[in-house]
């Protein structure tokens, strides 16, 4: 059934290449649930602090029936935890917070959206010039790109004037080796920069799952200008011991958006029970900006 609704470009849909006197309009057609969605769900069991050499792909649960049973059990456990008594909450810190034992991964999008594209010819009026498909993964990825654009638009002018320094952290081993959340690691970084007289101004991170089911974070951090030209990176920027897994750090080079987009603009697998990106509540301005 076609719903008569004309919109601007929806999330994840590219503009048409056909000629039109104006930007194309998108007529929403229908949303269809992906019939292969259940078969595309994967559960990755926690192996934290267990240094086995098997890859996450090898230990993941991929049988649809087994995955359905795990999801049902997780839902029951979540409902039980939400009904935790006040006494238990007082005795155990955050005892009513549900902490799943599995990372539920979508390897295929749940929804597929279909659009008809309308162009405008000043001589002949509106004409239909294409049919396009989007999906829930692409739409979510587009929201993440918008957040990245806000970060880059704020700090690119400051970076060009050499008023800020930007670092890129890659945090591997999440869900298999580390107990730490990215928000806690950010607080550690803030404290380390503060002790060295460099204030953290803002950050943005993305949670990515590679095709081999390797969950990891990419974290971009903006700090007040640090003169490190020709020097090695300070040891306090290496976070392996804090994160309990392998980490990497490097400078963000040249154009911020071009550098970060290769990490943030990927449209890979999604985790149902984890946020795919996050940013600082506000972006600060350096105290001594040029």
Q: Which residue has the higher pLDDT, 39 or 125?
A: 39
| pLDDT for 84 beyond 70 | no
* N- to C-terminal Cα separation, the chain: 58
Asked if 139 contacts 31 with a C-beta cutoff of 8 angstroms, the reply is no
Asked if 168 contacts 218 with a C-beta cutoff of 8 angstroms, the reply is yes
In percent, the amount of the chain with pLDDT more than 90 equals 34
Beta strand segments in 225-259, E = 247-251
| pLDDT for 97 beyond 90 | no
Q: Which fold has domain 137-279?
A: Alpha-Beta Plaits (3.30.70)
Asked if 239 contacts 188 with a C-beta cutoff of 8 angstroms, the reply is yes
| pLDDT for 8 beyond 90 | no
Would you state the pLDDT for residue 89?
45
Beta strand segments in 37-89, E = 41-45
Residue 191 exposed, middle or buried by CB count within 10 Å (0-12, 13-18, 19+): exposed
Q: How many residues does the chain have?
A: 290
| pLDDT tens, residue by residue, 183-225 | 999 999 999 999 988 899 999 999 999 888 889 999 999 999 9
Could you give the CA distance from residue 171 to residue 267 in angstroms, rounded to a whole number? 19
């Amino acid at each position: 059934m076609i719903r008569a609704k004309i919109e601007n470009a929806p999330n994840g849909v590219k503009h048409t290449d056909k000629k039109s006197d104006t930007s194309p309009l998108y007529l929403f057609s229908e949303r269809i649930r992906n019939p292969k969605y259940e078969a595309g769900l994967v559960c990755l069991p926690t192996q934290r602090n267990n240094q086995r050499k098997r890859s996450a792909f090898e230990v993941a649960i991929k049988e649809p029936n087994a995955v359905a049973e795990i999801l049902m059990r997780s839902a029951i456990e979540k409902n039980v935890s939400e009904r935790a008594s006040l006494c238990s909450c007082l005795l155990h810190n955050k005892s009513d917070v549900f902490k799943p034992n599995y990372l539920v991964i979508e390897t295929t999008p749940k929804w597929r959206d279909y659009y008809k594209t309308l162009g405008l010819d000043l001589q002949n009026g509106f004409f239909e010039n294409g049919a396009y498909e989007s999906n829930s993964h692409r739409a979510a990825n587009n929201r993440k790109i918008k957040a990245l654009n806000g970060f880059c638009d704020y700090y690119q002018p400051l970076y060009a004037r050499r008023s800020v320094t930007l670092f890129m952290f890659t945090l591997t081993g999440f869900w298999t080796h580390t107990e730490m959340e990215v928000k806690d690691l950010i607080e550690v970084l803030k404290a380390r920069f503060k002790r060295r007289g460099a204030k953290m101004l803002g950050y943005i991170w993305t949670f990515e799952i590679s095709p081999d089911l390797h969950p990891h974070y990419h974290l971009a951090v903006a700090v007040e200008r640090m003169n490190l030209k020709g020097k090695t990176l300070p040891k306090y920027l290496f976070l392996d011991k804090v994160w309990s897994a392998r980490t990497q750090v490097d400078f963000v080079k040249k154009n911020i958006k071009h550098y970060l987009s290769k990490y943030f603009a990927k449209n890979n697998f999604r985790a149902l029970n984890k946020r795919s990106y996050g940013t600082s509540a506000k972006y600060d301005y350096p105290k001594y900006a040029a």
